[in-house]
Chains A and B, each alone.
Chain A
Amino acid sequence: MRLWTIVLREIFERKSQLLTSFLAILLGITVIVSIKNISYYSEMAVAREVDSLGANVLVLPKSATLQDYYAADMQGETIPEEYVTQLAMSDLQGLDNLSPKLSVPVELRGKTFTLTGILPKSEFQAKAAWGGAGIFSRPIGCGASVGMMGSTDKKTLARKRVIETLEDNEVLVGAEVAAKLSVKDADKLELLGKKFTVTAVLPQTGTVDDSRIFAHLHTIQDLSKKGPVINAIEVVGCCQEISKGLVDKINRLLPDAKVVTIVQIAATQKNINTMMSNLSLMFLVIIIFVGGASIANYMYANVFERRREIGTLMALGADSRLALRIFLLKALLLGAAGGIGGYMLGTILAVVLGPRLAGVPVLPMPLLALAAIGISIGLTLAASYFPARRAARLDPCATFQEV
């Protein structure tokens, strides 16, 4: 005979009375675990999607307006190219790639297009100081662009917003431009008085980039006689770092520039995350009140029902601490069972329903087990403390009262 024997025997002998309280805690934990598990993988999926969109932060002149995210660099105002150096030399985490741009209008066969100067990644790597301390030496791995290192496919510009190499006499042609001018790879084009070779015709993106022609930034600066300036810097920022305040950090670094992000996407992600977070908080509050009240009510009834038994134990020589331990151990077992059961049930629900509800694959999260068991045990112990204290203060004379 041990304390466990008394507690376990009583639980199994009167399990039907315990069932409601157990179900309350089990279902509460199940729902919390499911929501947390699904929302975690949903957030990861959204983060991956935002990252895969390419550039998600823009550095613009202070006076620029932001009516079209993809055409924000076509407003004429400029910022110094030195800003690129400052960003590359900074210790900001989450900058996966930079793409400075200078756009000028060009006429070709009677039609006006936008000629955009871009800086290929090889330019960054050529600068020893940048290569040593720059952004590309420490990608944090959450951006899609990280995988670009070493890529030689020039068409990656359409999707990744960054290109590996680009020679002075090379141009990349947007899908719409190519269609209008009937241009194909290796064709020759004359722009601003200089002859270029079409290195690649970019695939259609559905954005203003389809009507652009891309050339080396420094070539465009020379041809347009604008000097070392740019219209915008497109930044491929890690989505998680953006949500941690990357935009503010860039703002502090470049106080004379305007830094914006893809507001709608960021807001959508934020809304989903907030909704999920609020939902789990709501269930946590519900479980605390409903589950806690149910357990406290059950425990008070249990103490009342067992007052003769407790009185008998005291008559046989038990002290009040034993009564307290009996009820708290029972609460501990109830909480542990509810936490473990709730974690398992919640994980199964999340894994099965996650792909259907959120459209994302969901895997079990062992860390949630600790949280589930912790919350469950904490709740049952807190709800049972006062009933247990009442048991400890029971008058042992109750043993004789009905005699």
Chain B
Amino acid sequence: MLKMENVSKTYRHRGQLVTALDKATVHIPRGDFVSVVGPSGSGKSTLLLMLGGMLSPSDGTVLLEDQSVYDMTLTERARLRREKVGFVFQTFNLVPYLSAQENVQIPLFLAKMNGSAQKERAASLLERVGLADRMHHKPCELSVGQQQRVALARMLANDPAVILADEPTGNLDPETSQQIIGFFQEFNEEGRTIVMVTHDPRAAKRATRILRLKDGAIANHDASEDACWAA
């Protein structure tokens, strides 16, 4: 489903060459649920951005369903994200002046779905995440847990095959975090491939395997070792 082959990302910061990702090779099969862990600055978010077609590598190839993502034009990459990828952000990134329902409608609007169908689907997705009674609330009128659930509903709007989540529980209390991770497991059981960057050991453990990054390089991707890391 997702492949990174010898992918490196370097950039210059104040005259110094910084290596964000160093010859990373990762294969993520369809239906996999991968946690990406590692200390801050280890390249987790860079890896996620590259998988989502939002940051081109300095070297190497990124493939999504055997298509080279960065050989596509910008418009083709936008369409790829629209049709196959769903993003979840640590800070939810809801549009503050739109209601919960309208936020969920955004991907549907981008996919050119008609207005009434948009509303219907958004309502059903919000119902699924338990926010049927909060559809017309703006993000500032919702708790952080509710905001993240709106973000999950928005992510599901276009029925993505791949979910890329960057610290989805980073701003949540433990109880809400468990609820959100529960949703991720549910999405994974539906056959969606999930890559989740996290600092939360309990969240990481809920994945089927863990990918550890250190100094831009993949230290291991063996689920059996995470017990030691989690401890």
Contacts and interface: CB of A to CB of B under 8 A. Distances in A.
Contacts of B111: 317
Interface residues of B, number: 37
A317 B81 contact: yes
Interface in B32-61: 45, 48-49, 52, 54-55
B185 interface: no
Contacts of B82: 316-318
A403 B110 contact: no
B152 to A, nearest CB: 13
A2 B75 contact: no
Listed residue (B78, B79, B89, B111) with the most chain A CB atoms within 10 angstroms of its CB = B78
B54 A396 contact: yes
Interface residues of A, number: 28
Contacts of A399: 54, 87, 89, 93
Contacts of A1: 102, 105-106, 108-109, 115, 118
Contacts of A10: 97
A9 B96 CA distance: 10
B192 interface: no
A237 to B, nearest CB: 63
Given A312-B89, A312-B93, A316-B154, A400 B45 contact: yes
B22 interface: no
Contacts of B98: 5-6, 9
Listed residue (A6, A13, A318, A319) with the most chain B CB atoms within 10 angstroms of its CB = A319
Q: Is the interface of B mostly helix, strand, loop or mixed?
A: helix
Nearest to A400: B45
A6 B79 CA distance: 20
Contact of A316 (B45, B74, B110): B110
Interface in A310-369: 311-320, 322
A162 to B, nearest CB: 72
Contacts of A322: 110
A400 B78 contact: no
B146 interface: no
28 contacts: A1-B106, A2-B115, A5-B102, A6-B95, A9-B98, A9-B102, A14-B97, A309-B95, A312-B87, A313-B106, A314-B78, A314-B81, A315-B52, A315-B54, A315-B81, A316-B110, A317-B79, A317-B82, A318-B82, A318-B110, A319-B75, A396-B54, A399-B54, A399-B87, A400-B45, A400-B166, A403-B89, A403-B166
